Structure 1
C-alpha cells in the first residue's frame, strides 16, 4: 500500500496530521528531527524516522525505506519549517542559511529523492505561509522566514510545470494564523483563531483530494493574519 510522508511531525500541525491520518487508516511515514514524540503514541500504521532536513545525507535513507516497506509513496506533505525572528540589521548569513536549508533546500532535496518511488498520480504539497504571498501583510523580524516561504511557492509552481506530463501533482497551501509553537515564536502572545488540529484536518483532506482539481497552484488558507 502506498503511503503518506509528513515532515515536521514532532509538533504543531505535523503532529496532528500524523495522528489524524493514522486514525483514518493511512500508512504514514513521520519525519522530524525528534522521532520520539510520534513513537510514544504507538499509532498503528505509522513509522517514525529522525532526519535533519538541513543535511542531504540524512534524507538519503528515505527512498530505500519507501521502496522496501511500501513500494511507492502517494503523498508528501512538506510541513517542516524553520523560523528566525530577528530585526534585519541583526540577521547573520547563518540565520538566512538555516531557514533556507530547511524551508527551501530541504524541500527540494527530499522531493528529488522520493520522486523515483512516487506514484505518478500522487500529490506533493508544500506548506507555505501568507507571509510568502506577494502583496500580503509583512512583519518585521521575518525577512528570512517569509522570503523562504515565497521561494517554496515558486519551486512548487516550477515542478508542476516540469512534471505536468508524467505526474505527480504539486501544490502549495499558504497558511494564515494557526495556534502553534512556531506562531508563538513569530508573534509572542498572539492568539490565533484556528488550532493545529483544525488546520491539520483541512491539509489532510487537500493532500488526499486536491490534486484532482489543482496543479501548480497556491491556495491561501487564512481566516486571520496577525
Structure 2
C-alpha cells in the first residue's frame, strides 16, 4: 500500500537519496528544502511520486506551509523523516553564539516545532524518524570540533524519546537513527578528504525501509547505525 512520507533536507545527500528510494518504491514523498531548483529536479525524475515544497524549516511559518498543503489537498501523512541538518566544525572555544543558534535551530528546534505543527495530520500507525548522529549517542567516541553539533544531535535523540511517550496514545511511533559517517557533501565540507565507509545510497535503503516498517518493532528508541569509529 502506498504511503505518504515527508522528508526534510531532501535536496542533497541522505535526504535526496532516501526520497528517491521511497519514490521508486511507489510512495508519495513530500520533499522539503530551501532549494526550489534541486527539488524540481527530483520532481522531474519522479513526476508521479514527488511533491516539492520549497521552504526554510527554521522559519516560523514552515509548519503552517506544510499544513496548508495537506489541508488543501485533504491529505494526511504516514511518515516524517527529520533529516535536515547543519554541521559547523570548529573548536568549542571558537564556536560563536551564531554557530550555536544555527545548529540548534536546524538540528533540534525545527524538528520539534514541525512535529508539533503536523501532529494532527498523522495517520494511525505513523512513524516519525529523527536522523541523529553517533556524535550525539551517549558513550560513543567524540571528535574535536563537533561539540555543538553533537549536543544538538543528542538533544534530538532525547526529544525522540519524549515524543514517543507523548504520542503513544495516538498510535504514532517515534525513533531516532544515530548514523555513523556517511559520504555526503556535508561531511566532506566539514572534514575535507575524509573517506566514510557508507555511501548515501546505501544508508537511504536502510532509512526507507525503517520509516515504513521499523515502528512495528521499535518505539522511543535511540538506535546506533554505525560500522565503528569514525563511522
Mapping of residues 94-173 of structure 1, within 5 Å? 94-173=98-177
CA contact (8 A) 1:74 1:122 kept: yes
Tell whether 2:215 aligns with 1:211. Answer: yes
The equivalent of 1:6 in structure 2 is 7
Question: Among residues 181, 184, 194, which one is paired with 1:177 in the alignment?
Answer: 181
Q: How many residues align?
A: 226
Alignment partner, residue 35 of structure 2? 34
* Cα displacement string for residues 153-172 of structure 1 (whole angstroms, at most 9, x for unaligned residues): 00010111111122210000
Give distance in 2, aligned partners of 1:117 and 1:86: 39
1:74-94: CA deviation from partner (whole Å, max 9, x where unpaired): 000000001111111111111
1:89–1:118 Cα change, 3 Å: same
Paired with 1:220 and 1:212, the residues of 2 have a C-alpha distance of 18
TM-score (norm 2): 0.94
Over 3 Å counting, the alpha-carbon distance change for 1:207 and 1:30 in structure 2 is same
Residues 37-46 or 196-205, more deviating: 37-46
Q: Which runs of 5+ in 2 are unaligned?
A: none
Find the aligned partners of 1:109 and 1:202 in 2 and give their Cα distance.
26
Structure 1 unpaired stretches of 5+:
none
Once the 2 structures are TM-superposed, how far is the Cα of residue 114 of structure 1 from its aligned partner? 0.8
Distance 1:137 1:145 in 2: 14
Runs of 4+ in 1 over 6 A off after TM superposition: none
Of residues 68, 75, 96 in structure 2, which corresponds to 1:92?
Answer: 96
CA distance in 1 between partners of 2:199 and 2:106 (Å): 24
CA-based RMSD of the aligned residues comes to 1.2
| Contact 1:5-1:77 at 8 Å conserved across structures | yes
Q: Does the CA-based 8 Å contact 1:7-1:14 persist in structure 2? A: yes
CA contact (8 A) 1:18 1:30 kept: yes
Distance 1:217 1:184 in 2: 29
Q: Alpha-carbon deviation of 1:70?
A: 5.3
1:24 equivalent to 2:25? Answer: yes
Distance 1:170 1:121 in 2: 10
Counterparts of 1:78 and 1:70 in 2: how far apart (Å)? 23
Give the distance between the partners of 1:91 and 1:219, measured in 2 at CA: 28
Secondary structure, aligned partner of 2:78: strand
